[in-house]
Amino acid sequence: MYEIDLSGKYGLILGVANKRSIAWAIAQQLSQAGARLALTYQDDRLKPKVAELAGQLPDTLLLPCDVSDDTQIEAVFAQIEKSFGRLDYLVHSVAFAPRQELEGAFVDTSRAGFRTALEVSAYSLLPLARGAQPLMERAGGGSLIAMTYLAAERAVPKYNVMGTAKAALEQIIRQLAYELGPSNIRVNGISAGPLNTLAARGIGGFSDILKLYPERAPLKRNITQQEVAQTALFLLSGLSSGITGEVVYVDAGYHIMGF
């Protein structure tokens, strides 16, 4: 079995909320491979949980970052430059829409709710990539990944404006891959199947989706956080050096089915 060695590499992971977070599973994989990490927390409410998890990884930075605040984003990269001097990896696992926008009809989406969902879930990758670029160039290149979902290309009941945000995110991935490619910076997405995370539980009918996947997916089961994290490890490592601008599906094959 080939073991990926990320010793001497540095990564920034956004989106850890608790032990079930996809971002936390990715952080564990990267740390086990030898990378030193910085984890962010959104606010003081989430800080204790993220701090507890960060304490389980060696020499991990813990930084505040509300991705809707450019000042906080700039402060994160200033601290990474001071502590790491470079950056090799960035994981964007951040998404949010006001609860009311996920409960009613999509046609009733408010202007403010639409703006919030797109800003946090999609636009935020742009200032993060902007902050990461010079630090990755200093490292000779780097890799960014963002978490997306099948609702970016198909209608999913109750996913509503989050599907719009994921569609925007996937376009941003492709455009950034084009622009950052000359700097040897790769940008890819992972489209994961349903997982029992804090964010997923905010989607109406989520339990029904969990039951549907094993019935229709070719592998006849749901996926695990570890499977997503292993794909992230591959996309962040040199094993995927020729891959950029792609969305890799980790959904037990569900997306290939016509019915």
Q: What is the pLDDT of residue 1?
A: 46
Q: Which residues are catalytic?
A: 149, 159
Give the tens place of pLDDT for each residue, 41-95: 999 999 999 999 999 999 999 999 999 999 999 999 999 999 999 999 999 999 9
How would you list the strands of the sheet with 36-41, edge to edge? 61-64, 36-41, 10-14, 89-92, 142-148, 185-192, 247-250
Which has the closest alpha carbon to 103: 160, 163, 152, 165?
A: 160
Q: What is the pLDDT of residue 257?
A: 93
pLDDT band of residue 138 (cuts 50, 70, 90) is very high
Which has the closest alpha carbon to 32: 249, 239, 247, 226?
A: 226
Q: What is the pLDDT of residue 200?
A: 60
> Mapped to the 3 state alphabet, what secondary structure does the chain carry?
CCCCCCCCCEEEEECCCCCCCHHHHHHHHHHHCCCEEEEEECCCCCHHHHHHHHCCCCCCEEEECCCCCHHHHHHHHHHHHHHCCCCCEEEECCCCCCHHHHCCCHHHCCHHHHHHHHHHHHHCHHHHHHHHHHHHHHCCCEEEEEEECHHHCCCCCCCCHHHHHHHHHHHHHHHHHHHHHHHCEEEEEEEECCCCCCCHHHCCCHHHHHHHHHHHCCCCCCCCHHHHHHHHHHHHCHHHCCCCCCEEEECCCHHHCCC
pLDDT at 101 over 90: yes
pLDDT band of residue 198 (cuts 50, 70, 90) is low
Neighbours of 62 (CB within 10 A): 16
Query: What are the residue ranges spanned by the domains of the chain?
Result: 10-253
Instruction: Classify domain 10-253 by CATH architecture.
Output: 3-Layer(aba) Sandwich (3.40)
Give the tens place of pLDDT for each residue, 19-29: 999 999 999 99
30 within 8 A of 89, measured Cβ to Cβ: yes
**Across the chain, what does the average pLDDT equal?**
94
Q: In whole angstroms, what is the distance from residue 194 CA to residue 171 CA?
A: 22
248 within 8 A of 145, measured Cβ to Cβ: no
231 within 8 A of 187, measured Cβ to Cβ: no
Q: In whole angstroms, what is the distance from residue 172 CA to residue 110 CA?
A: 23
> What is the average pLDDT across 124-149?
98
Provide the b/e sequence for 107-128 (b: ≥16 CB within 10 Å).
Answer: eebeeebbebbbebbbbbbebb
Q: What is the pLDDT of residue 204?
A: 61
Half-sphere exposure of 177 (CA within 13 A, CB side): 19
Q: What is the pLDDT of residue 225?
A: 96
Give the tens place of pLDDT for each residue, 205-248: 667 778 889 999 999 999 999 999 999 999 999 999 999 999 99
Higher-scoring residue by pLDDT: 103, 130: 130
The rounded percent of the chain whose pLDDT value lies above 90 is 89
